[in-house]
Structure 1
Amino acid sequence: RRDAAPFWDETHRRLPRPSRPAGDPLRSSEGCYQLYPGHIPTSPLQKALLAAGSALMALCDPYRHDMVAVLGETTGCLALPNLRDKMKHHPEGYRILQERPRIRLSTLDMSKLRGLPDGSLGREYVRFLEDNKVSPDTRMPPKFVDDEELAYVIQRYREVHDLMHTLLGMPTNMLGEVVVKWFEAVQTGLPMCVLGAAFGPVRLSARKLQVLATELVPWAIRSGRNASCILNVYYEQRWEQPVESLREEIGIFPPPAVRV
């Protein structure tokens, strides 16, 4: 669907822990060493070229989610270690790094989630997926992150993105995606999120720009600054928790009463 997750929503595997000894890389059929399945080793110059090319393609066509994914991986060299360290120094985040849960249809009991009370995280998450016709299985696996643990961090970020929509009460239209990217930019520091927040509004109407500037961006920035790290929540163990309760626990302010 062209109107589902339209901009800078990194298109959508738990990254398996290697069975080999730690630090012992895999060797691909091309003779390159892989740090995890699917990894494509690249030099700093190659990363720079990939980042420039993917940024240009994403700006020209916001629906090129594959390019957005490449941009996120090739420009996250500073932000990803910072996010990993935040997880390591938080009890719940540390457990996530150790257990490496995945949010996919194969790991979700959709019938059980549908049967949860209205207002619970699980029920509202499923409602979001169904209303916007999106699937957690469309999240792309990382390729260009040159660290196996950091590759999981960016995978986790991608897989909780739809949960951010649920907690923030934002749809997957252009305006909703831009608002979520403002929140994620403040939260994660990922350049890809900053790019989406900065350039996403160029495609919005004058009326939506006014609502964005006066109501939604200030709220998203305040919530992003106030909230604890969104990667430190074990969402799979919070399905029964009310969304309002989880917002309050994380530090996300209630969404403005405006039509998005």
Structure 2
Amino acid sequence: PPCLPFFLDDDDSPPCAADFGGFFAFSVPLSLAGAPPRSEPHSITLTFSGAAEYVTPSSSQRKKLYETHIPIPLRQKVFLAAGSAVTALSNPLRGDMVATLGETTGHLFLERMRDRMLEDPMGRRILRERPVVNSQTIDLDRLRALPNRTFGREYTRWLDTQGVSPDTREPVRYVDSDELAYVMRRYRESHDFAHTLTGLGVTVESELALKWFEWAQMGLPMTALASLFGPLRLTSEERNRLFTRYVPWAVQCAVGSKFLMNVYFEKWFEKPLEEVRRELGIYLPEVPENDGFSPAL
């Protein structure tokens, strides 16, 4: 009979799709009225990074649309979305789960983002040329040698200060369109540019502030869920500060600024950071000196 995948934690706790970090998987038979019997085995492979791959003879034979594509049936996407949502909302810093949630819930919104890119000359150029952001395509040492306060220099300063790398972004796996997969990849690889422009760091509070910015600009479901439920992990003081000061800034700044998916960031590295912000319509949140939450740049 058809089976629904569930997950076990290492401590053999009851089945729960919320924790994709466990190492065991099993299937529970489910009787569906009128459903023909299926003899093919079902299994879910959990990697140590938290990514889940649903494998059956039929799904493994589905056509891969790009190198990292993992084609899976709709109902498996539903379970993957539910499990990644719970994990990502409980810990917004789990990049693997945030990535999976975005890919399994964002098809219509990715189409809208693609359409907005097609309406803009630079957006069309980005879709045509498909630039990639990693340490192989961008000479980070050259950017570090640029004058202070240039966009490229401050971008690498932000990377070094926060201890992150452009190579740490999760590959796109579950988007069933080559073009939309690139849109998701571009959004993901541009995330650190948005951090640099807004001056926000990588703390939970900073990430949530940026998620509100991205939700207002792009409307991806994962940014909405993170924006609404992520604050539950904050202290009452942090939550009050987020909603009274940084959420209004994030929404107003996002609505009034240029759609960041239409920005060819790689062409702006030599420009002064303040000039880039001014041309894009981005301004920093006002941070009092005694505020415990301050921009990284």
TM score, norm. by length of structure 2: 0.75
5 Å matches for 1:132-147? 132-147=162-177
5 Å matches for 1:28-177? 30-177=60-207
Q: Percent identity?
A: 48
Any idea what SS the aligned residue of 1:30 has? helix
5 Å matches for 1:173-252? 173-252=203-282
The CA deviation string for residues 122-161 of structure 1, in whole angstroms up to 9 with x for no partner, is: 0110010000100110111111101000000000000010
**Could you say which residue in structure 2 is the equivalent of 1:254?**
284
Change (3 A) 1:68 1:135: same
1:196 and 1:177 map into 2 onto residues whose CA distance is: 9
**Could you say which residue in structure 2 is the equivalent of 1:16?**
none
Task: Quote the offset at 1:63 in angstroms.
Answer: 4.0
Greater shift, 139-148 or 63-72, is seen at 63-72
**Amino acid of the structure 2 residue aligned with 1:134:** V
1:113 and 1:195 map into 2 onto residues whose CA distance is: 35
Unpaired runs of at least 5, structure 1: 1-10, 12-27
1:199 and 1:113 map into 2 onto residues whose CA distance is: 37
Change (3 A) 1:63 1:226: closer
Q: How many residues align?
A: 234
Unpaired runs of at least 5, structure 2: 1-48, 50-57
2:68 and 2:244 map into 1 onto residues whose CA distance is: 43
> Is the Cα contact below 8 Å between 2:90 and 2:233 reproduced in 1?
no
Higher-Rg member (1/2): 2
Q: Which structure's residues are more often strand, by fraction?
A: 2
The CA deviation string for residues 155-186 of structure 1, in whole angstroms up to 9 with x for no partner, is: 00000101111100101011110100000011
**Amino acid of the structure 1 residue aligned with 2:98:** V
Task: Quote the offset at 1:217 in angstroms.
Answer: 0.8
1:61 and 1:163 map into 2 onto residues whose CA distance is: 22
1:224 and 1:162 map into 2 onto residues whose CA distance is: 16
> RMSD of the TM alignment (CA)?
1.7
Any idea what SS the aligned residue of 1:78 has? helix
Any idea what SS the aligned residue of 1:35 has? coil
Any idea what SS the aligned residue of 1:33 has? coil
Task: Quote the offset at 1:210 in angstroms.
Answer: 2.3
**Could you say which residue in structure 2 is the equivalent of 1:8?**
none
Task: Quote the offset at 1:253 in angstroms.
Answer: 2.5
Q: Which structure's residues are more often helix, by fraction?
A: 1
1:129 and 1:61 map into 2 onto residues whose CA distance is: 21
1:220 and 1:232 map into 2 onto residues whose CA distance is: 19
**Could you say which residue in structure 1 is the equivalent of 2:40?**
none
Any idea what SS the aligned residue of 2:61 has? coil
TM score, norm. by length of structure 1: 0.85
